[in-house]
Amino acid sequence: MTPAPGTSRAPWLLTWEELHRMPSQAVDGFSYQKEESYRCSTASFIQEVGRALRFPQLSISTALVYMHRFYARKSFVEYDRFITACTCLLLGGKVEETPKKLKDVLHQAYQKRFNCSAKDVPDPDSRKFWELREQVLVSERVLLQTLGFELQLEHPYRELLAYIKSVAMPREFAQLAWNFVNDSYRTLVCLQYDHKTVAAAAVALAAAHNQQTLSNPIKGHEDEPWYRAISPDTTEADVFACAHTIIDFYELIGLQMAADEPGKEGAHVNLSPAELERMRASTGSSSLRATTEHASTSLAPDAPDAKPTRTPDAKPSSSAAADAIIAKRARDEPADGDGARAKHARGDAPASAPAHTLANTPPRGDGNVAPSKPASAVLQRERVPAAGAPAP
């Protein structure tokens, strides 16, 4: 169950219809699938740079939520993803008390974006580096305003580990569920469901993967659904819908890896198509798959004819598959879902704020972002805290 209007998290929980009216779609003509792909590749970039900076996963996850919330109110056309990613990492590190110097963030991000070595990064005293630094500082002010200065976040990790400990699941199960949470940040679930529902969805996916049954460990409530032990207010429909959204993500990256698209990273969990089908069946009725019409949107420099541009009176594009997905999910939403996720007030940047772009920044090397590992490799997994360590 989603929070009622007026609660603290409600402004950032969007309905399915609102997800299709975000600025990149409503103003700049992106299809839902194109925006979804942009978000996924931007999230992969943030994750990769965050790891290179040795950020803890909590700080990276905070940066990822900031990115998703920012582009719920701003357009990918107007605000450069590279600058926004750096800004979110910088701010996420500050908020989670793991700060990094701006020059270090830019240094790592530049290497990842342009696939170059450390010696090819502009000198910190150069004009080019100074311009990048100024763009991030301006972007930070816009980000803070767009977020409404709501910087403290609740993540699924604590509830997830508490439940797993209460039912005495093995460490391997905890690691798997933890990784599902990490991968969820590359989807839109943080804009659709509260953190407890995401935790329950990750547990459901881990149980489906391992073909294990779950129970409610709360004394006197053993006959109630297991997920009520994580979130008393959530529904089975929300838990399974959230789980299916995460499964859709694995299907998407499977398509990207099969197509050998540049700059696409693997996930924290490596799943075969057969495993995905079985997990989908184990977490409720089958839902429609995401369309295969995803653009290649790595953070390599945009080609002149590929860079998104804003055109007058641009209309959101849509495919038949997208229309079918919208209709299906609209039918699946609970009858009382309308208005359950309060619509946020849209905030605009100051009129003097420049559009953030690196159009004048030439790439180093061949200009393509290649994965740090082969496309079939799995990213180094974020480790679950050692036994007895406090949850993040």
Residue 79: phi and psi, rounded to 5, are -120, 115
Let me know if 26 is exposed, middle or buried by CB neighbors in 10 A (0-12, 13-18, 19+).
Answer: middle
Write out the chain in H/E/C secondary structure.
CCCCCCCCCHHHCCCHHHHCCCHHHHCCCCCHHHHHHHHHHHHHHHHHHHHHCCCCHHHHHHHHHHHHHHHHHCCCCCECHHHHHHHHHHHHHHHCCCCCCHHHHHHHHHHHHHCCCHHHCCCCCCHHHHHHHHHHHHHHHHHHHHCCCCCCCCCCHHHHHHHHHHCCCCHHHHHHHHHHHHHHCCCCHHHCCCHHHHHHHHHHHHHHHHCCCCCCCCCCCCCCCHHHHCCCCCCHHHHHHHHHHHHHHHHHHHHHHHCCCCCCCCCCCCCCHHHHHHHHHHCCCCCCCCCCCCCCCCCCCCCCCCCCCCCCCCCCCCCHHHHHHHHHHHHHCCHHHCCCCCCCCCCCCCCCCCCECCCCCCCCCCCCCCCCCCCCCCCCCCCCCCCCCCCC
388 — pLDDT class (breaks 50, 70, 90) = very low
- Contact, 355 vs 76, CB < 8 A? no
Q: In terms of residues, how long is the chain? A: 392
CATH code, 10-302+314-337: 1.10.472.10
Taking the C-alpha atoms of residue 195 and residue 181, their distance in angstroms, rounded to an integer, is 10
Is the predicted pLDDT of residue 307 greater than 60, yes or no? no
CA distance 32 to 40: 12
Instruction: Tell me if 228 sits within 8 A of 263, measured CB to CB.
Output: no
pLDDT of 287 strictly over 50: no
Give the pair of three-digit tokens for residue 76. 């990918």
Residue 314 confidence (pLDDT) above 60: no
Distance CA 325, CA 290 (A): 7
**Structural domain boundaries of the chain?**
10-302+314-337
Question: How do residues 331-358 score in pLDDT, each as one tens digit?
Answer: 443 333 333 333 333 333 333 333 333 3
pLDDT digits 0-9 by tens, 17-40: 888 888 898 888 888 888 888 898
Q: What is the pLDDT of residues 220-248, one digit of tens each?
A: 677 788 898 998 888 899 999 999 999 88
Query: Is pTM beyond 0.75 here?
Result: no
Q: What is the pLDDT averaged over residues 44-72? A: 95
More confident residue, 29 or 113: 113
Digit-coded pLDDT (tens) for 85-110: 999 999 999 999 999 999 999 999 99
Other beta carbons within 10 Å of 334: 13
| Averaged pLDDT, 44-73 | 95
What integer is the mean pLDDT of 297-302?
45
